[in-house]
Structures are given as C-alpha cells and as structure tokens.
C-alpha cells in the first residue's frame, strides 16, 4: 500500500478501462490506477465479482463504473467503450487484460471448441478492444494501451497450445497496433508475466498435476530465478508504469515480468 500511496497522481483526470477487472491482475490494476488518480471502467463477464472491485476503488477515493461485457463480442466491446465515454467523458487508457487459460492437454488431444474459445477471448477480445477504443482515445488526443500477453507469448508449451498460440497473437497485435496507433497519439505495449498468484494459476496447477497443485506450484517456482510467483500488484505496477507518461517513448515493447524465468 505504501508503494501505491506515495502521493503520486500520475493518472489524475485520466479514465482507464480495465477488462477482466474482476480477476487477480485486473483488480490489482484497477486499484493501482485508482490510487494514482484514475477513474476506472471495470469490465468483466462476472458482474457480481465486479462489486467488490468498484467498492475497492471507491475505498481508495476513486470513481468506478462496472460494465458487464464479454470481450469476444463486438457489440459488447463497443458498449463498454460507449459507457465509459458517456459516464466519464472519454477514455485515455486501456488495459486489455481479460483472458482464459483453456485446458491442459497435449496438442493432439486438445478440444477444438476450447481452442476456439481461448482464441476468441484472448485474441479477438484484444483485437476488438484495440479497434473500438481507438476512436474514443483519438478524440481525447491519444493515450496508452497495455495488452496482457504472457511468457507463453514468447515460449512454447505443448500442453497449453491454445493459450500459447493466443499469447503469441497478442504479441503480434501489440506490434501491429504500435506501428500505426501513434498517428492518433496512442502507444501500445505488452506485459509478459510468468506465473502470477491468481485463480488462473490454481486452474493450471490442477491441470498440470491433478490433485497435487501445491507440488506443481513449488516445481514452477523453482524454475524462476526469483524463486516464487509474482503477486498481482507487482504486475499492476508495471502496467501502470507503461500507461504513464514516464514511458512516453516506449511503444511496441514486450515487457517481461517474470522473475527472470525467460533468461535461460
Ligand atoms: P483471472 O482468471 O484471475 O482473471 C481473468 C478475468 O477475466 C476474470 O475475472 C474473468 O471473469 C475475466 N474474463 C474471462 N473471459 C472474459 C470475457 N470473455 N469477457 C470479459 N471478461 C472475461 O486471471 P489473471 O491471472 O488475473 O489473468 C489476467 C490476464 O493476465 C490474462 O490475460 C492472463 O492470460 C494473463 N496472464 C496471467 C498469468 C498468471 O499466471 N496468472 C501469467 C501471464 C499472463
């Protein structure tokens, strides 16, 4: 909390849309941005889980609007942008964070419907966010976007092929948008976390080693030079950095937040 409450107001007067806001990284990002002055448009499929997020933002003295939407559906993405503009007067920042892990299965056995859903949420969802936020952010004179990729966006794992493919695609979308969005004053970057202590890792631990999630966690952590998973707030801090003017010359970057996991 002391880190968040340094008295900085890097986002005073800014409006930030965070998708997947009810999840681990999403909620931590909402709270981090709000603690530095941003108004928050909190988007998630799970409307009931947005309530504590909104309460948390208000508890930090911020304002938040909860929007229930599926990021894979164009009309719902257009609606979360419109709701944000109508409620707060515009959008300056976007965090394309909503994502799903799919299942843990060898590629040759991977269910096609799960593959399609993972690509729909993780890739189409980011694509639609980039597409529909552009006019609103351009109208404000520009802004900054962070897409949640993963170390799975630059490495392979045949047991989570849909997730790996989707995060490689998020890297591609980040680079594609970063090459043209600056014409509208918008920077686009990606963060690539290694395991973060959230629901998603609980599901993956169970998938990789059924019935022994704690053992899997220990094994995963031992492969990370820092020896542990990231906390959601540690990822939120890097997201906030990339959204802020401190990184005004950073565009199209892939920012690993992985404790050194991809150094070998
Ligand atoms: P999480 O499961 O805690 O949160 C994800 C949120 O996205 C949930 O609240 C969920 O309801 C929401 N969501 C899912 N599908 C949606 C849809 N179609 N429309 C709107 N909302 C939807 O997971 P998390 O760990 O906080 O992950 C956030 C992002 O970070 C994801 O993109 C994930 O791939 C990425 N990431 C996570 C890790 C990790 O280890 N946890 C590592 C690297 C990258």
Query: Residues 209-215: contacts with CB within 8 Å, 24+ apart?
Result: none
- The predicted pLDDT at position 6 comes to 46
Phi, psi angle pair for 42, to nearest 5°: -95, 115
Please tell me what DSSP assigns to residue 136: H
Find, among 260, 94, 118, the residue nearest to 174 by Cα: 94
Instruction: Tell whether the model's pLDDT for residue 235 goes beyond 60.
Output: yes
Residues linked to residue 93 through DSSP beta bridges, in sequence order: 16, 144
Tens of pLDDT, residues 176-198? 999 999 999 999 999 999 999 99
Q: Active-site residue among 80, 110, 132, 163?
A: 163
- The predicted pLDDT at position 8 comes to 66
Ligand 1 pocket test: which of 17, 18, 25, 195 has the largest number of ligand atoms within 8 Å of its C-beta?
A: 25
Tens of pLDDT, residues 117-152? 999 999 999 999 999 999 999 999 999 999 999 999
Give nearest CA residue, ligand 1 atom 8. 23
249 is an active site residue? no
């Amino acid at each position: 909390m002391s880190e968040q409450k340094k008295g900085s107001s890097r986002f005073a007067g800014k409006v930030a849309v965070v998708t997947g806001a009810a999840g681990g990284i999403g909620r931590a990002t909402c709270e981090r941005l709000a603690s530095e002055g941003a108004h928050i448009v909190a988007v998630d499929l799970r409307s009931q889980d947005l309530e504590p997020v909104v309460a948390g933002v208000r508890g930090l003295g911020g304002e938040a609007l909860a929007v229930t939407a599926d990021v894979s559906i164009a009309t719902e993405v257009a609606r979360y942008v419109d709701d944000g503009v109508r409620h707060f007067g515009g959008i300056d920042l976007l965090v394309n964070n909503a994502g799903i892990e799919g299942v843990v299965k060898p590629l040759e056995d991977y269910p096609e419907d799960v593959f399609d859903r993972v690509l729909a949420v993780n890739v189409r969802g980011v694509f639609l966010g980039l597409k529909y936020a552009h006019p609103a952010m351009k109208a404000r004179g520009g802004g900054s976007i962070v897409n949640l990729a993963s170390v799975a966006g630059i490495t392979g794992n045949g047991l989570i092929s849909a997730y790996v493919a989707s995060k490689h695609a998020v890297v591609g979308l980040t680079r594609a948008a970063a090459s043209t969005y600056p014409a509208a004053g918008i920077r686009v970057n990606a963060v690539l976390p290694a395991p973060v202590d959230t629901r998603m890792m609980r599901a993956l631990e169970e998938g990789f080693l059924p019935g022994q999630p704690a053992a899997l966690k220990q094994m995963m952590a031992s492969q990370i030079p820092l020896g542990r998973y990231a906390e959601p707030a540690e990822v939120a801090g890097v997201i906030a950095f990339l959204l802020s003017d401190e990184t005004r010359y950073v565009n199209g970057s892939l920012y690993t937040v992985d404790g050194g996991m991809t150094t070998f």
